[in-house]
Amino acid sequence: MPRREFPRKVRAAAFLRANGACEKCGARLKVGEGEVDHVLPDALGGEPVLSNAKVLCRPCHAAKSADDVRRVRKSDRQRDRHIGAIRPACTIKSRGFPKAERRREPGEKERQLRALRERQHERQG
């Protein structure tokens, strides 16, 4: 799907709103220096509307675009993993479950507790 650019009227309104300054760092912009950027990238569902437009200087725009590329690629990887297009790198290796202890007979636990109490009582008395 091709990238959707801002219409001319939206770009003009964004430049008027910015009043000749970068909306991120506040640097004064000369004629033709400002660039209109999507706040939410088009690839992540950002619409080409004024509320999603921001006028940035070239250095701020380059930094934000690099961050946007990372976010879009991460989104693509998560989507591909979710739909099964990417297989897990490896399976989780474990030592397995511990061996089960021997099964106790019914009432054996109570007998052990009673014997423990008797030993404690003998020590006290």
Domains of the chain, residue spans: 8-83
| Total count of residues recorded for the chain | 125
Output the average pLDDT for the chain.
Answer: 87
CATH class given for the domain over 8-83: alpha beta
* pTM for the whole structure: 0.61
Strands 53-56 and 35-38: antiparallel
Residue 88 has pLDDT above 80, yes or no: no
Percent of the chain past pLDDT 90, that is, above it, reads 48
Phi, psi (5° rounding) for residue 60? Answer: -65, -40
The pLDDT value recorded for residue 52 is 93
Q: What is the dihedral of CA 39, 41, 42, 48, to 10 degrees?
A: 10
Question: pLDDT of 101-116, one tens digit each?
Answer: 766 677 888 888 888 8
The pLDDT value recorded for residue 104 is 67
